Structure 1
Amino acid sequence: MKQDQFINLPLFLVLFGPFLVISQNQPFNEDMLGLIVFKAGLEDPKNKLSTWNEDDYSPCNWDGVKCDPSTNRVSSLILDGFSLYGHINRGLMRLQFLQILSLSRNNFTGTIKNDLLTLWNLKVVDLSENNLFGTIPDGFFQQCWSLRVLSFSKNNLTGKIPDSLTSCFSLATLNFSSNQLCGELPYGMWFLRELQSLDLSNNLIKGNIPEGFQNLYDLRELRVGKNLFTGKIPESVGNCLLLKLIDFSDNFLSGKFPESIQRLTSCTFLSLQGNSFTGGIPHWIGELINLEILDLSENRFSGWIPNSIGNLESLSRLNLSRNHITGNLPETMVNCIKLLSLDVSHNHLKGIISSWLFRIGIQSNNSKRNSSSFSSVYYYYGLQVLDLSSNAFFGQIPFGIGGLSSLQTLNLSTNNIYGFIPVSVRELKSLYILDLSHNELNGSIPDEIEGVISLTELRLQRNFLGGRIPVQIAKCSALRSLNLAHNKLNGSIPASIAELTNLQYADLSYNKLSGTLPKELTNLTQLFSFNVSYNHLQGELPVGGIFNKISPSFVSGNPLLCGSVVNHSCPSFHPKPIVLNPNSNCSNSRSSLQNHHHKITLSISVFIAIGAAISIVVGVVAVTVLNIHVRSSMSHSDPPFALSGGEDCSFSPSKDPNCGKRVMFSGDVVDFVDEAHNLNIESEIGGGGFGIVYYVVLRDGSSVAIKKLIVSSLTKSQEDFVREVKKLGEIRHHNLVVIEGYYWTSSSQLIIYEYLSRGNLNKLLHDDHSKIVFTWRQRFKIISGIAKGLAYLHQMNITHYNIKSTNVFIDFNDEPKIGDFGLLNLFPMLDHCVLSSKVQSALGYMAPEFACRTVNITEKCDIYGFGVLVLEVVTGKKPVEYMEDDVVVLCDMVRSSLEDGKIEQCIDEKLLGDFSVEEAMPVIKLGLVCASKVPSSRPDMAEVVNILELIQCSSEGQQEDLQ
């Protein structure tokens, strides 16, 4: 039968199937009928179902189909990775003996139907990695008594997990990971006593994790990471004695390390990463002798690392980074003989880097114990990653570092390490990344660096290294990034660097290099950033290659360099003879006409630019005058707000109904410092369209930021104001600024926020005085955090309205926090003055629909602003920049560069060599899609979060492949 002959086959077969007969009078099998109906509703671009022939007597030999030999009925349908498109239709309902249904890694769409589990024999249902959407119907699990395995992972499912799930008493494996499920966990889940594997990771599930783990005595794997869980980990988790894998990462959990976990001696994987746990790492951690992976990073753990950590002989990966851990590393760690990765970066560790540290995983060789050579006394087991960066370690790098012959990443940056780089680095044949930057190293770069043949990144910037750049560095043929900036290197730049054909980024700035630039550098086709600024270089800049597009700032600070890039012509010792042109008059006439035309064009451009500038200035002046007028009127009508206690009327509202009170959500009336502080210009730290922000210290010594609303006449009544602010105060998310309290009178309203001393993203990105230079990984984390915070607001039905870099604050863990959210709900209406002020203050971030006279404020407006923010973070440029005779709009510039295939030129030059183009490109494209001029073309923020996670996973996968 041809394909076009059964376009309407499903309906036909459902109605008349039982009465059909095929050739040779064979009855049409119920299973075959169901499968043909199922196939008819699908697209099969790779022809995977070519063996499904309706003329066959039985479907048991079809691809993906298995039958029970005793009944000859279909018992298994496994079509994983067949690239099928379409809906999961009712044809499958005819497979009454089906036990296994696995359709993972396809492109099935639509919602999950209530009747799928009416197939009473079903034991396995795997619909993972498709495009299913919508909620899981509450009645879906009402007939799931035989179900053992259920996976809906990596789809687009929303809504809550149905309470009816508790009916699946036989369930052993449940996987809802990587969806958009929300709400709280149904308590009845803890009565699924057969459960062995539970994976709810990467969703939006919130609330406390309920007690009840004691019922899951057969549980082996527990994954609830990347959600919105709060509170503490239930102590009952320690009753699941068979647990091997525990993942609570990337939530908002707090409290101490749960004591009950010490009973889980079978555990091999434990991750509490990315939460707010406090206290010390417990001494009993060494009792978990089967641990292979322990990740406690990005928390608030303090104190010393316990000596018992050395008992974990099976440990392969230990990550304690980004905590408040003090002391030194315990020498007992040398007993962790299987350790592959050790990361204790970004803590407060100190002490000498002892030689024993480089014996981790190294076993004794008794036959050579009397030898004085380190490499002959020991042989290596397998440490691959060692990251001690951003601590307070001091001392010299031990010579024994050469014994780590399998090391792939060594990061000792941002410590107080001094002395020479040991020549034993030549033994690090497997090393990809060597980062010794931001230390106090002296001496020279050893010639033995040539032995590190796998090296792709060499970071030695900001030390006191002298001497010449070794010519032997050319032997590091895989090198892609070379940073030697801010040292005392001298001599000429060796021409042998031109042999590094994979080199993409080189920074030799702020040294004492002399001589001319080797012309051979123009042959480096992969090189896109070459910074030699502030040296003693001289002579003519080479022509070609990187030097045709090099930024002038990359060669500045070399007064003896000449060439067009530095706007300094080179002296000519062989002047060319003057040749008279017999057609000079004609040429001059043409030239004169061309110049005249150019002048006219330039005049028009200048006129347009001047006109635009005048319009902008007039707008700014008008808004400024209006704001000054509002502030002036307030200053006359409302006395300065005293922050001290005493006789302030806010403490006795009964005496004056117009007096308000200062309320903190953590208690009742706020206690400010005793001194008389006013909200005056000395304490002002910022401002915007809604109000002025002041810095204030409370009585307990903590700091807050207070926003004084300057459009008080537009606020709601006290009752409405308090109700709205309390709603906002209940919002808690890792990427949102916390609202800690409020103050109300009829003439003055204040909102009290947590204070983030590091400042806003705009300042950190664009302030010339800022010493912060964000890496690509930090920028990606900022973009991802903003997306998560905004997605959470939209989930709470809150439109921000004013997304911009000045409303995003960065804490000391590089986590972004969105501020000023929900303020629109405090105003019953916005007049033209306030709206104009808001648009002016967020110039470049506002969606095109704001130009309409009637503004329809939707979540899509926020998404537009987020898209602009993405481009701002990646490029380091402001949304709108004013040049001498032009106005550059960031979105237009990036979009144009993408179309011309020159997107690398848009990326912040501070990033060059410190990022993956494969990861940056999709991020830029995502920013452009979010900043689409058509609102319907912009994705939802939940989709944006998923896309960013896919980009990150893809990038990490590529890095793992490289390793």
Structure 2
Amino acid sequence: MMKILSLFILLLLVPVHVRSLNPPLNDDVLGLIVFKADIQDPYGKLVSWNEDDDSCCNWVGVTCDPRSNRVFELVLDGFSLSGKIGKGLLQLQFLHKLSLAKNNLTGNLTPVLTRLENLRDLDVSENSLSGSLPGDFFHQCGSLRSISLAFNEFTGEIPDNLSSCSTLASLNFSCNQFSGSLPSGLWSLEGLRSLDLSNNQLGGEIPKGIEGLNNLREINLGRNKFTGVVPDGIGSCSLLRSIDLSFNSLSGNLPNTMQKLTLCNNLNLRKNSLVGGVPDWLGEMRSLETLDFSDNSFSGQVPISIGNLQSMKVLNISMNDFTGSLPDSMNNCKNLLAIDFSQNSFTGTLPGWIFQLGIQEVLLSGNRLTGSMDSPLSSSLDNSSKKLLVLDLSHNAFSGQIPSSVGDFSSLQVLDLSENWLDGSIPLDIGRAISLKQLRLDKNSFVGTIPTSIANCSSLTSLILSRNNLTGPIPAAVAQLTNLQTVDLSFNRLTGTLPKQLANLANLLSFNISHNQLQGPLPAGGFFNTISPSSVAFNPSLCGAAVNTSCPTVLPKPIVLNPEPSDSPPGSIPQNLVRKKSVLSISALIAIGAAAVIVIGVIAITVLNLRVRSSTSRSAAALVLSGGDDYSRSSTTDANSGKLVMFSGDPHFSTGAHALLNKDCELGRGGFGAVYKTVLKDGRPVAIKKLTVSSLVKSQEEFEREVKKLGTVRHPNLVSLEGYYWTPSLQLLIYEFISGGSLYKHLHEGYGGNSLSWNDRFNIILGTAKSLAHLHKVNIIHYNLKSSNILIDSAGEPKVADFGLARMLPMLDRYVLSKKINSALGYMAPEFACRAVKITDKCDVYGFGVLVLEVVTGKVPIEYVEDDMVVLCDMVREALEEGRVEECVDGRLQGNFPADEVIPVMKLGLICTSQVPSNRPDMEEVINILELIRCPSEGQDEFM
């Protein structure tokens, strides 16, 4: 360390003398050692950098010029380095390339790096650098040809003196938080070939003068806030290969000059407000391979000239106002791989060229197409048709039957024909489409039975046949589809009993059979133990817990054998084989007698228990009222006085028994007991939970051991346990008092008068996640997570209460737990209902997922609406599948929430509520995901 310190002094005080020294203290060694001293190297990637070396040319990441023996390149990509970029690099005066990408470097980016006279390539992308670029950042950019600051956290405006970098060929500032308008001097960089400013907050109109970039090959200004029109001068950039202006607010028509861009192969104008028709000159851009005009306000017919785009691979013009028929000229586009014409107003029939070109994805949903599908499908059965992967013709007016030739599409993975006028039966040949993963035929007029051949589609994950006229039973063949996650057979006329084998479908997330005529018991085990009641409703003859109807136990009536010889006439039934309705078997009589004894015993024990509790409550009340030395930490365990232990502070109460027995002091009630407010002698308020599980609580020794363990748990987002009181029949837990009310009251009762903002809600979700992660680290499972158990303190921070109370019961019996936590209906993980599955911290993850959806939507986990029951998880999941997820956001947030945060958070909630515990993330992973969602530059696309 002394040597490094001396090097610092030399570097800062006498740089001229340092440069004049001969090795071993040459500039490069010195500079790199000083650079290393400013950063952390957790994996020892720079262990070869030794300050005693004469040369650094053999150090990892360092490349020297063989002629001068000076550092030419420094490439440390993906080394997991952290810390700040210091001034040591200033010593590398011959450095041409500096790449520090994919690390964890932080802090501001000072003009130090651009002062390196010979630096040509600078890449600090994918770090955590922040702050704004100083005004003189590009004042001396020397011979800089390439600079990338992508995927960081830079803010502020792009400096105007960027125009000083006259030799710049590549500029990438994408995925930051730059704001303001584009600097006008940007268009003076005549050597610029690649410009990427996407995923920022840049705004205003795109300034004129872009025609000055004669060498520009790629421009990406997507995902910003640009307004105005597409600049007319863009057509003068004749070398352009790729243009991305997507996700802005551009308006007006396409400039006619764009027809000059004959070399352009990628044109993306998605999600703007562009208007007018697609011009005929579009056919002149013959190099186009990808064209995306989706989510604009284009109108009119698609021009015939589009057939000239014979290099086209991907064409997306969805979500516009196009009319007319699909142009037959597209038969010339032999290289097409995907087309998306959905959500327009196209009319006419289904053209055959769609299936003759070997297209892999065909999306035509949400139009006005009519006619039969039989002819186009049946006439296209050649090698081209076998390439089809996705076929979505939903939300049209197609009629007739599904042709049996659909089975010849052996590679087809998604078939969506929902919301048409199709009829007839589902063809048996559907089973030959063995690659199917999603099959949607809902909202048609199909009749007949569900074909058993569906079992051949072993990859199927989604089977949606709802709202048809299907009859017959659900075939047992469905149970062979082990990858099934979503099944919807609702609103049909299905009959018969459910195959028991359905319980073996381990990946099920949703199984809706409501509004049919099914009968008998639900399958036992697995997903069906926790199936939503709304998913099985309106099947009058179904029975089981989910429909709140007990299944009748079918026992054979006793056969009474008559030992006497029969005198019955020939042909009559022998009397010794007649079932006597009036005679009960011995086992039945024993069962009835045992039941009577049990009932009488329960009544007697209940009466005695009430008397004992009344007595002990009065005794405890007297004790609390008396105060005195009985409350010391070392007090005795005399059954007549009880034992009070406080983990810190003065244990005396300033109020007495009324604090426990007076309704006016009651704060609430839960599955484990009632909570009251009282005040300690020092004036500090506390909350006292009076446990109502006395008959289930462990012995004093075990009880105290568990309570003391909970008393040691401390976290900013957990309610602290301050002490306890014990008698064999009365137990009190003493907690810190939180004044801000529960999350439930804030969400559903308007507590405090103001609704929670999105920032408040996000912080509550994140704080709750951190508290659960802390509990899981110390091997404590909450078991009872719900919004009423999350309190809000005066600073708006969440405090999770009631954690670990189930540990005080004699055993973690799921029946007992489910009864004691019945107020957590809707939060409980499905494995609570299955004795064969181990209860783990993934139960808390499930409850957390439900809580997330409750916070975002403002709705309770289960809501009863007339004769139906709405399950929040199911509602959000269905909305997600139908693309309506934003409709689920709490109305009090409408117009005032960031969709790029809210929607990923809702999706995270659904992931946490997976039916299969192993599919749920752990709470540490949840925290990481939430932090990524809050910081989009870290890569939130994975949640989209």
TM-score (norm 1): 0.64
Please list the CA deviations of residues 643-680 of structure 1 after superposition, one character each: whole Å capped at 9, or x if unmatched: xxxxxxxxxxxxxxxxxxxxxxxxxxxxxxxxxxxxxx
**Structure 2 equivalent of residue 908 of structure 1:** 873
Between the aligned partners of 2:539 and 2:203, the Cα distance in structure 1 is: 58
**Structure 1 equivalent of residue 747 of structure 2:** 844
Q: CA deviation at 1:400?
A: 3.8
CA contact (8 A) 2:175 2:937 kept: no
Q: 1:387 aligns with which of 358, 363, 367?
A: 363
Aligned residue identity for 2:144: L
- Report the CA distance shift for 1:497/1:131 in structure 2 as closer, same or farther (over 3 A): same
**Structure 2 equivalent of residue 530 of structure 1:** 511
Between the aligned partners of 1:113 and 1:14, the Cα distance in structure 2 is: 18
**Structure 2 equivalent of residue 863 of structure 1:** 759
Mapping of 1:277-288 within 5 angstroms?
277-288=274-285
Moved more, 308-317 or 942-951: 942-951
**Structure 2 equivalent of residue 505 of structure 1:** 486
- Report the CA distance shift for 1:387/1:9 in structure 2 as closer, same or farther (over 3 A): farther
Between the aligned partners of 1:536 and 1:7, the Cα distance in structure 2 is: 82
CA contact (8 A) 2:399 2:420 kept: yes
CA contact (8 A) 1:609 1:886 kept: no
Q: 1:577 aligns with which of 580, 583, 588?
A: 588
CA contact (8 A) 2:24 2:55 kept: no
**Structure 2 equivalent of residue 408 of structure 1:** 389
Q: CA deviation at 1:470?
A: 1.0
Q: Does 1:210 align with 2:207?
A: yes
**Structure 2 equivalent of residue 165 of structure 1:** 162
- The structure with the largest alpha-carbon Rg is 2
Please list the CA deviations of residues 233-268 of structure 1 after superposition, one character each: whole Å capped at 9, or x if unmatched: 110111100000001111110000111100100000
Q: CA deviation at 1:43?
A: 1.6
Between the aligned partners of 1:847 and 1:18, the Cα distance in structure 2 is: 66
Between the aligned partners of 1:574 and 1:93, the Cα distance in structure 2 is: 91
Q: CA deviation at 1:145?
A: 3.0
**Structure 1 equivalent of residue 604 of structure 2:** 589
Between the aligned partners of 1:599 and 1:310, the Cα distance in structure 2 is: 88
Between the aligned partners of 2:749 and 2:130, the Cα distance in structure 1 is: 31
- Report the CA distance shift for 1:189/1:45 in structure 2 as closer, same or farther (over 3 A): same
**Structure 2 equivalent of residue 654 of structure 1:** none
**Structure 2 equivalent of residue 269 of structure 1:** 266
Q: Does 1:196 align with 2:193?
A: yes
Between the aligned partners of 1:926 and 1:471, the Cα distance in structure 2 is: 36
- Report the CA distance shift for 1:938/1:523 in structure 2 as closer, same or farther (over 3 A): closer
Q: Does 1:105 align with 2:102?
A: yes
* Secondary structure at the counterpart of residue 59 of structure 1: coil
Q: CA deviation at 1:517?
A: 0.4
* Secondary structure at the counterpart of residue 321 of structure 1: coil
Please list the CA deviations of residues 578-630 of structure 1 after superposition, one character each: whole Å capped at 9, or x if unmatched: 434497565542355568999999xx9998999989xxxxxxxxxxxxxxxxx
Mapping of 1:238-637 within 5 angstroms?
238-359=235-356, 361=357, 380=358, 383-397=359-373, 398=376, 399-400=378-379, 402-403=381-382, 404-574=385-555, 577-579=588-590, 580-581=593-594, 586=601, 588-592=603-607
- Report the CA distance shift for 1:93/1:159 in structure 2 as closer, same or farther (over 3 A): same
Mapping of 1:561-960 within 5 angstroms?
561-574=542-555, 577-579=588-590, 580-581=593-594, 586=601, 588-592=603-607, 843-844=746-747, 862-865=758-761, 899-902=844-847, 908-912=873-877, 923-924=905-906, 946-947=935-936, 950-951=939-940, 953-955=941-943
Between the aligned partners of 1:181 and 1:488, the Cα distance in structure 2 is: 56
Q: Does 1:131 align with 2:128?
A: yes
Between the aligned partners of 1:65 and 1:40, the Cα distance in structure 2 is: 17
- Report the CA distance shift for 1:572/1:944 in structure 2 as closer, same or farther (over 3 A): closer
Between the aligned partners of 1:79 and 1:557, the Cα distance in structure 2 is: 64
Aligned residue identity for 1:923: V
Q: CA deviation at 1:574?
A: 1.3
Q: CA deviation at 1:6?
A: 6.9
Q: CA deviation at 1:356?
A: 2.5
* Secondary structure at the counterpart of residue 395 of structure 1: strand
* Secondary structure at the counterpart of residue 216 of structure 2: coil
Between the aligned partners of 2:502 and 2:535, the Cα distance in structure 1 is: 15
Give unpaired runs (5+ residues) of structure 1. 362-379, 614-838, 872-877, 929-936, 957-963
- Report the CA distance shift for 1:549/1:609 in structure 2 as closer, same or farther (over 3 A): farther
CA contact (8 A) 2:437 2:460 kept: yes
Q: CA deviation at 1:451?
A: 1.9
CA contact (8 A) 2:24 2:53 kept: no
* Secondary structure at the counterpart of residue 424 of structure 2: coil
* Secondary structure at the counterpart of residue 305 of structure 2: helix
CA contact (8 A) 2:431 2:454 kept: yes
**Structure 2 equivalent of residue 757 of structure 1:** none
CA contact (8 A) 1:468 1:492 kept: yes
Q: 1:34 aligns with which of 5, 10, 31?
A: 31
Q: CA deviation at 1:167?
A: 0.5
CA contact (8 A) 2:153 2:937 kept: no
- Report the CA distance shift for 1:331/1:612 in structure 2 as closer, same or farther (over 3 A): same
* Secondary structure at the counterpart of residue 391 of structure 1: coil
Aligned residues: 676
Moved more, 62-71 or 37-46: 37-46
* Secondary structure at the counterpart of residue 174 of structure 2: coil
- Report the CA distance shift for 1:327/1:524 in structure 2 as closer, same or farther (over 3 A): same
CA contact (8 A) 1:18 1:28 kept: no
Between the aligned partners of 1:402 and 1:598, the Cα distance in structure 2 is: 80
* Secondary structure at the counterpart of residue 479 of structure 1: coil
- Report the CA distance shift for 1:869/1:249 in structure 2 as closer, same or farther (over 3 A): farther
- Report the CA distance shift for 1:891/1:87 in structure 2 as closer, same or farther (over 3 A): farther
CA contact (8 A) 2:849 2:909 kept: no
Q: CA deviation at 1:173?
A: 0.4
Between the aligned partners of 1:343 and 1:225, the Cα distance in structure 2 is: 20
CA contact (8 A) 1:194 1:216 kept: yes
Aligned residue identity for 1:908: C
* Secondary structure at the counterpart of residue 60 of structure 1: coil
Please list the CA deviations of residues 314-367 of structure 1 after superposition, one character each: whole Å capped at 9, or x if unmatched: 1110000000011111001111111111001110111111223222x2xxxxxx
Between the aligned partners of 1:546 and 1:182, the Cα distance in structure 2 is: 49
Moved more, 428-437 or 99-108: 428-437
CA contact (8 A) 1:207 1:230 kept: yes
**Structure 2 equivalent of residue 663 of structure 1:** none
Q: CA deviation at 1:844?
A: 2.2
**Structure 2 equivalent of residue 142 of structure 1:** 139
Between the aligned partners of 1:519 and 1:606, the Cα distance in structure 2 is: 53
**Structure 1 equivalent of residue 571 of structure 2:** none
Q: CA deviation at 1:10?
A: 6.1
Q: 1:156 aligns with which of 148, 153, 156?
A: 153
Q: CA deviation at 1:46?
A: 2.4
Give unpaired runs (5+ residues) of structure 2. 557-586, 618-659, 670-741, 768-785, 790-820, 831-840, 854-871, 886-900, 911-925
Aligned residue identity for 1:863: N
Aligned residue identity for 2:260: R
**Structure 2 equivalent of residue 637 of structure 1:** none
CA contact (8 A) 1:411 1:434 kept: yes
CA contact (8 A) 2:144 2:165 kept: yes
Of all paired residues, the percent bearing the same amino acid is 44
* Secondary structure at the counterpart of residue 73 of structure 2: strand
* Secondary structure at the counterpart of residue 844 of structure 1: helix
Aligned residue identity for 1:387: L
Q: CA deviation at 1:563?
A: 2.1
